[in-house]
Structure 1
């Protein structure tokens, strides 16, 4: 039986330990450059230090911090020792953070100065940069443990925006498969920016991808459009990964001014975690004319290796998720549970080595998410076209009924964003006594543009079903994001109900 690779060993000095593998902007600007040997040595020292402190294989540690080299080294070092890493979303309330730390049974919490206040009492903590942190590494070589088939390497928690966060244990075997299966060809020449938070699959996946492929990482503590653009220019980045909102913010930041010449060097651009419109693709393509733009679909529960290019070389349409990769399994399921064959629409289910075995301490949630035979029920409604490409339609729980008609917010958002003056749009429902629910839109405009609410409504009425048009349009300077840099739909839904109620009462 082939030994299961340790996920922490993906970070390796290789044949050239002096090569730069990471630039850390948490250390300031200019950033601190780290060689492969330095980073590997720190990771091994931390593996030894954690065991010397009394932690053992199978124990878990929580990390409550913005992106920084110490977080990266701790992440890979702990996994080498068989210690389970639990990156915690620091945008959650302290009470929710405490629930996560308790559920994960974390023996130790690592924090940075800005987020230390969120750490629950009663669990030992170490502050990055403190004397305790400096004393933790035990320098020396370390032989990574050989994981068992389903041994967890990390536990990621869902956002918890609609209830108690769900812990998703993810194995060494599954996560290594996920990174390896998408590593095609020689990628060592690439320079990737990691600006998504390290409590999110996006950032962790890209770190592992970069180190496995001997590429270089430009690590930013948090995302801002200004710092992101500067990093692309200063490091001549070639590979970008982001959520669509991040790229919309970059486009808005640059406005109508000239784009930096260094943008021509970007050859790969992945936008994922939420749907995007053709209008945004056109804006991004104008900024990065030499980049191959890919829709990076993935879930915490079933990984990020789901779609790829068409096996017959058919070009992937801009708004398609891609074509299912042969190494994994996908199927579309109708609401009655039957499998949808050929052209059609259904809820995406996935099964592959990266699929979780269940939520932590939540058997009922697990039973609802994992269907017969270990298929993960994503809740994402997907359409398959005649060439086998998949397209995101909407979340199963985002769809709402207006006067007997089904409304998918993503469809209305794409229509709104086709307007030349609109940068970004989010559609949410508000209660209505007659129609049950009505669509309401939050809209941001491109720099220098102006638009009336009536013009927005008319645009949708003329180009789509009348029942889809937003009954209220609220113009905002920016779309708020939740903890994972995804759109905060729950917060906007609450805000829409308040604003619509206030507007309606003022009319009576």
Structure 2
């Protein structure tokens, strides 16, 4: 085939396992043969409307077969897929569409009002709904029904851009990471090797696919291997238990809060989870107590570390070591390389923090239309600068200690918030915790913690301070601890530490 990218996957899968179930959504199944036919029909329909090589196709909506069909149809045409975060404000979505130059927006009908408003701000935008609406409009089903599903083999090179995935923009305007077909393929290969996935995998996807973790660490590897993806539009505790039992789910991905909610449910002790082989947990540091909770049920909660710019896998803790090395992010992905660097460019000693630098075929070459920022993101010898700090032990196992910008200096000592947060999570009453450095007239900076505690486990801030004092050096114990109902979060779901710094009082 001339197409060497993601667009070739549907054909390759359909010829290998045509009758295997590829997708399950709302109880409806689609085989790889059916999925391939729909993707090619959609690609032909899009081409008839002027979409071609290099054009950007945005998607706004929850997990749905149309998301994956649009992604692979874009890859079939040599176009670029741009998934949009549904939690963004309209102004942020407008910025993203202008920044990537999207000509098409495929949207879920629940976002109809937003889509129409966006077209007023981006006048040349072609709107295509995922399903038929009351008013006659272009929709994916109509395109697929009207177009031919004849096989097409556009020449697409592995180095061409497959997706533009926008970062959270915590340090300014969001930047679109250029994920090439090569990046996506090699990341999927890393997952297949390190997680040891099989063609019989049944993967539950109820974390949003507009994030690189759900897409790159579970969805694409499952489809590459020929497994089955169970698509769920949102996370719900009861539904998750039902789906695991009904479809005998073997693999699931989630952020710590999702796994925590499952383990706190009344159904947790009796739920049939015997089919589960792998549970991948990422997006935030995984509390040690959560790992112990799952280990007690014989479930390996595999944690790791990644970033959008690495498509996204960088480090992964194996299932066998997940309970033994609690709090660690693991070793580099099979085809990736990681090294640590001090601020002066030298290599830190064992267990000394340094910035994570990563290189490999899964690492992007830069940001969409951001040449200066792209250049600044890499070292002179081509390693991507993560901005994150980690230590590595004598066995090559890494432990994340925080962001460079989050580290603060108290009385001349470096303090890493991730270390304090990890210890706070060991307290049985603590559900979530975040620590920041704030100015202090005596020490320069001191810690400030925002903590969410369980309703069933009331605790005083003084008790939490005593708990920390027994486990950490005095300069690391936050001078102030606030009990809050929830941690402030940005549009991507990450904790907004600037909001904690700005909190009154």
What is the TM-score when the length of structure 2 is the normalising length?
0.89
- Asked if structure 2 preserves the Cα contact closer than 8 Å seen for 1:245 and 1:486, the reply is no
- Asked if structure 2 preserves the Cα contact closer than 8 Å seen for 1:85 and 1:155, the reply is yes
CA shift for structure 1 position 63: 0.8
Q: Which residue of 1 aligns with 2:454?
A: 446
- Asked if structure 2 preserves the Cα contact closer than 8 Å seen for 1:20 and 1:34, the reply is yes
Q: Which residue of 1 aligns with 2:368?
A: 360
Pair 230,95 (structure 1): closer, same or farther in 2 beyond 3 Å: same
Distance 2:62 2:175 in 1: 21
The structure 2 residue matched to 1:285, chosen from 295, 298, 301, is 295
Q: Which residue of 2 aligns with 1:55?
A: 51
Q: Which residue of 1 aligns with 2:138?
A: 132
Distance 1:314 1:450 in 2: 30
The structure 2 residue matched to 1:111, chosen from 99, 107, 115, is 107
Pair 315,161 (structure 1): closer, same or farther in 2 beyond 3 Å: closer
Segment of structure 1 superposing worse, 301-310 or 356-365: 301-310
Q: Which residue of 1 aligns with 2:303?
A: 295
Q: Which residue of 1 aligns with 2:36?
A: 40
Q: How many equivalent pairs are there?
A: 486
Pair 139,4 (structure 1): closer, same or farther in 2 beyond 3 Å: closer
Q: Which residue of 2 aligns with 1:64?
A: 60
- Asked if structure 2 preserves the Cα contact closer than 8 Å seen for 1:10 and 1:208, the reply is no
Q: Are 1:214 and 2:220 counterparts?
A: no
Distance 1:466 1:46 in 2: 61
The structure 2 residue matched to 1:170, chosen from 160, 168, 179, is 179
Structure 1 counterpart SS, 2:204 = strand
Q: Are 1:405 and 2:401 counterparts?
A: no
Q: Which residue of 2 aligns with 1:238?
A: 250
Pair 308,456 (structure 1): closer, same or farther in 2 beyond 3 Å: closer
5 Å-filtered alignment, 1:188-227, equals 188-205=199-216, 206-227=218-239
Structure 1 counterpart SS, 2:436 = strand
- Asked if structure 1 preserves the Cα contact closer than 8 Å seen for 2:295 and 2:323, the reply is no
Pair 3,339 (structure 1): closer, same or farther in 2 beyond 3 Å: farther
Structure 2 counterpart SS, 1:264 = coil
User: What RMSD, in angstroms, separates the aligned Cα atoms of the two structures?
Assistant: 2.5
1:387-425 per-residue CA deviation (whole Å, 9 max, x = no partner) reads 111111111111123343322111111111111222222
- Asked if structure 2 preserves the Cα contact closer than 8 Å seen for 1:60 and 1:107, the reply is yes
- Asked if structure 1 preserves the Cα contact closer than 8 Å seen for 2:190 and 2:334, the reply is no
CA shift for structure 1 position 117: 3.7
Pair 438,313 (structure 1): closer, same or farther in 2 beyond 3 Å: closer
Q: Which residue of 2 aligns with 1:21?
A: 22
Q: Are 1:424 and 2:428 counterparts?
A: no
Q: Are 1:8 and 2:7 counterparts?
A: yes
1:358-396 per-residue CA deviation (whole Å, 9 max, x = no partner) reads 112222321221111221001111111011111111111
Structure 2: stretches of 5+ with no match in the other structure: none
Pair 105,424 (structure 1): closer, same or farther in 2 beyond 3 Å: same
Pair 442,234 (structure 1): closer, same or farther in 2 beyond 3 Å: farther
Segment of structure 1 superposing worse, 438-447 or 410-419: 438-447
- Asked if structure 2 preserves the Cα contact closer than 8 Å seen for 1:320 and 1:389, the reply is yes
Pair 486,32 (structure 1): closer, same or farther in 2 beyond 3 Å: farther
Q: Which residue of 2 aligns with 1:182?
A: 191
Distance 1:181 1:394 in 2: 24
CA shift for structure 1 position 440: 2.2
Distance 1:183 1:221 in 2: 25
CA shift for structure 1 position 480: 4.7
Structure 2 counterpart SS, 1:374 = coil
CA shift for structure 1 position 442: 2.2
Pair 393,238 (structure 1): closer, same or farther in 2 beyond 3 Å: same
1:179-198 per-residue CA deviation (whole Å, 9 max, x = no partner) reads 12332356122211112212
Q: Which residue of 2 aligns with 1:264?
A: 274
Pair 283,401 (structure 1): closer, same or farther in 2 beyond 3 Å: same
- Asked if structure 2 preserves the Cα contact closer than 8 Å seen for 1:192 and 1:238, the reply is yes
Distance 1:99 1:258 in 2: 42
1:205-246 per-residue CA deviation (whole Å, 9 max, x = no partner) reads 122111111111111112233333332233221111112222
1:69-121 per-residue CA deviation (whole Å, 9 max, x = no partner) reads 11111111111111100111121221111111111111111112333344422
CA shift for structure 1 position 4: 6.8
Pair 243,309 (structure 1): closer, same or farther in 2 beyond 3 Å: closer
Distance 1:92 1:118 in 2: 11
